[in-house]
Amino acid sequence: MPASSISNPTWGVIVVGGGHAGAEAALAAAKLGVKTLLLTQTVDNLGAMSCNPAIGGLAKGHLVKEIDALGGAMGQVADQTAIQFRVLNRAKGAAVQATRCQSDMLAYKTQMRARLERQPGLTIKQAEVAGLKLEMGRVVGVTSLMGEEIKAQTVVLTTGTFLNGLIHIGDQRHKAGRAWEFPSTLLAEQLKALGLNWGRLKTGTTPRLDGRTIDFSKMEPQPGDDPFVPFSFWGPPAQYLAQQPCHITFTNAKGKEIIEANIHLSAMYSGAITGIGPRYCPSIEDKVSRFPERDRHQIFIEPTSLASFEYYPNGMSTSLPLPVQEAFMRSIVGLEQVEIVRPGYAIEYDYLQPTGLKNSLESKDLPGLFAAGQVNGTSGYEEAAAQGLIAGINAARLTQNRPPLVLGRHQAYIGVLIDDLVSKGTAEPYRMFTSRAEYRLSLREDNADLRLSPIGREIGLLGDKEWDLFNTKQEALARLRELAHTLYVYPEPGAPPIEHRLKLEVFLKKPELDFAALERFKGQEELAPLAEFTDAVKKTVETEFKYEGYLRRQESQVQNYLKTDAIQIPASFDYTTVIGLSKEVCQKLLQARPQTLGQAAKISGITPAAIALLMVAIQKGRK
């Protein structure tokens, strides 16, 4: 009897996996009018926060704002389910300030699932994908573990840590994708058999603690911002959740002794783990080993949900045996009587080297196949969601015979993320940082909508309501800029000292002065019109004036970058014909197969001289 198929014989897009990347990919594809099927092992875990209960943070908050500006879901769901908001790096410049929220993990996945289930054109099925269907070297669907053959024009892989996933707790090993869910082994082996370049990575999570056994009185409370700044540009949810404090405590010398005495039992140090772990999110064993001079490390005790007593000790991922985890946790001030609800663990998994992808996130070797999230070697919910959004958009656009959406490094952190991955690849879990964005002064959180919402509107992700809000903000910005060119601020007793009258734009350019300082200039009626503008509008205009010279210089750098990056390298280009290129350089270029000269310039070992030779050869070829 022939294999069955799910309902409709052909789908436009199949999304494999229902995590943060899969959710954004499926929503985007369906919103663009393409019949979309999301396949996940466990429907109950759609949009689950499998590790820390938080969204955003340094550079990650920029990604969330950009997802929201384009029409993605993460920012709005984060606002609906946040139990604490904080802006990080307030004391630093606007470019590196970032929004972070503590999330209600249970509410987050409930709200994301509801959004997925309400989306017209999107079907959700519980099934494990065992392999890809190929015809003439092209991906044309998937096969399930139950023997179903499901045809599609495109497939988006968002398998997270499930490919050959292996969980470690001390010397205990369990095949699992995350938190005891089944791993994806058949699909992983097929991808290897197809000759795709793959590797092995490791990540980890912390033990979860029973909040009823924590003595918070011994810890430093960490409240959120009041008032707070949400993520979404498109208005607040119907109601925010009750805001909760986090708490800070520290490890100590006693805990360090426990780790040192038992570090040989950690899966990371016993030789059981071969995958490379995240350099910027080390386990507690790594912290003790790498920083032996330090007796204490900061731990954030974070609530996971208003409906749960579980707490998350941020900064405490571990693969030590459970008895050692318990002993160590109880050495920490405030946790002397703590009970562990779930042990921490490390997880190894296969990933696909992202240099095998185009900058649209489509495979170079298997047309019709897109990949997003941890399967591409990244870490973090936000990095996954950003990739999922772009992969979903481009999978849908491919079915519509439309060109892919590609964001440049000068346009968005999303562009930096994808360009880094496809140009350089990664040998460790990739995490976004503001330092990775060379044009970060113009890629701020506050202007993500100004940069990207016109794109979201053009491709069809932003509706009329969002577009009206965007245009209203644009009009307010224009009015405030005009007022800043015409209004004057006069010296006044009790206000910040200025020697003589200043035009408002000059006033705002001074490092020590801002719109908040204007509130102390109470006797000047001509400043009254400023009260009608929102804090968000004021912040954007203030930043534009303060950094005007730097932004102008950065724009010049962007134009030079675009000249190089705009030069396309033909897929059939023969590097061996370029006189002057070494064999080593040719091999690296053949392996990476860059799509543009800008991508070629980022490959390790490719010199400026080699790029100059390539530029001449490509231009001659065109003539």
Q: Which residues are annotated as a binding site for NAD(+)?
A: 277-291
Residue entry with tokens 């460790």: 428
Q: Are 212 and 309 in contact (CB under 8 A)?
A: yes
**Contact partners, residue 184, CB within 8 Å, separation at least 6:** 41, 128, 129, 159, 162, 163, 164, 165, 177
Residue type, 367: P
State how far the Cα of 103 lies from the Cα of 303, in Å rounded to an integer: 8
Residues in binding site for FAD: 17-22, 129, 184, 374
State how far the Cα of 377 lies from the Cα of 350, in Å rounded to an integer: 9
* 313 beta partners: 301
Go through 97-122 and write b for each residue having 16 or more CB atoms within 10 A of its CB, e for each that does not: bbbbbbbbbbbbbbbbbebbeebebb
DSSP string, 73-121: SHHHHHHHHEEEEEEETTTS-GGG-EEEEEE-HHHHHHHHHHHHHHSTT
State how far the Cα of 553 lies from the Cα of 394, in Å rounded to an integer: 33
Q: How many CA atoms lie within 13 Å of 613's alpha carbon, on the beta-carbon side? A: 15
What is the 3-state secondary structure of 31-44? Answer: HCCCCEEEEECCHH
Residue type, 97: Q
Residues in binding site: 17-22, 129, 184, 277-291, 374
State how far the Cα of 332 lies from the Cα of 334, in Å rounded to an integer: 6
